[in-house]
Amino acid sequence: MIADDHKIFRDGIKSILAKEKDIEVVEEAARGSEVIEKVGKSAIDVIVLDIDMGEPNGIEVAEIISREYPDVKILILSMMGLHDFIIQALEKGAIGFILKNAGKDELLTAIRSVAKGDSYFSKEVSVILIEHLNKPRTTRKRIADIPLSARELEVLKLITQENSNPEIAEKLFISIRTVDTHRRNLLEKLGVKNTAGLVKYAIQKGLIDQEDT
């Protein structure tokens, strides 16, 4: 589904996606209420969702969709690259966020990544996200309250920074198999299904901004 309040923008994305054999646009929506109305009527894997869509806005829609239709993946495509919008969107259920200045190739990469359950952030969004994750947050849950080892926290932090398993292994001087084990343990302990779930959990709980507490 393409959800944006500008028809010319929806038409532009549809024209791009029409050339891709593995992607089909099955619905489109101009308002947040329309997204919620239509999402349960079609077999939708991914919603490409704008933030500024009236009431409810895209962030509120993301929260509703992620709660009522957890198998539907949400990719935010917006002009609003402000810190608060990015963090709120991810906390409410989006697993990808790119800006409207993205090119065709990045849009396609983002859609395919999100469809697989992987997170995807444009470069500008990644910078904001990493800065947010590295800021001290005294009001967030203390690490002592989280059932993760120090090594698991290190692995989690590197995962949120979009490092691959081989890259994590190299940085921590451990084997790729060990990284695989840590990743499986993280998924099990935190009760999430994939890398996108790990990123979302880390944002919500503040697990990676304190290393020694």
Return the pLDDT at 53.
82
Q: Which pLDDT does position 213 carry in this prediction?
A: 31
Q: Which pLDDT score, from 0 to 100, does residue 142 have?
A: 44
Residue 126's pLDDT is 83
Q: Looking at residue 207, what is its pLDDT?
A: 63
Q: Residue ranges of the domains in the chain?
A: 2-132, 135-205
pLDDT at 139: 38
| Nearest of 91, 79, 93 to residue 39 by alpha carbon | 93
Give 75's strand partners.
48, 96
Beta strands in 61-169 (DSSP E): 73-78, 96-99, 120-121
The pLDDT, as a whole number, for residue 21 is 94
Distance separating alpha carbons of residues 12 and 192, to the nearest angstrom: 35
In this prediction, residue 141 carries a pLDDT of 44
Instruction: Establish whether domains 2-132 and 135-205 are of one fold.
Output: no
Read off the pTM: 0.65
pLDDT, one tens digit for every residue, the chain (213 residues): 999 999 999 999 999 999 999 999 999 999 999 999 999 888 899 999 998 887 898 989 999 999 999 899 999 998 876 677 888 888 888 999 999 888 999 999 999 999 998 889 988 888 877 776 666 554 344 444 556 777 888 888 888 888 888 999 998 888 888 898 888 888 888 888 888 888 888 877 666 543 433
What pLDDT does residue 98 have?
93
Helix (H) or strand (E) holding 3: strand 2-3
CA neighbor of 42 nearest in space, from 64, 22, 27, 57: 27
Q: Is 97 helix (H, G, I), strand (E, B) or coil?
A: strand
Architecture of 2-132 per CATH? 3-Layer(aba) Sandwich (3.40)
Residue 43 to residues 3, 39, 46, 170: CA-CA distances in angstroms? 15, 8, 9, 41
pLDDT at 206: 67
What CATH number was assigned to the domain covering residues 135-205?
A: 1.10.10.10
Distance CA 3, CA 53 (A): 8
Helix axes 150-160, 165-172, angle to 10 degrees: 130
Element (H, E) at 29: strand 28-29
Peptide bond into 56 cis (omega under 30): yes
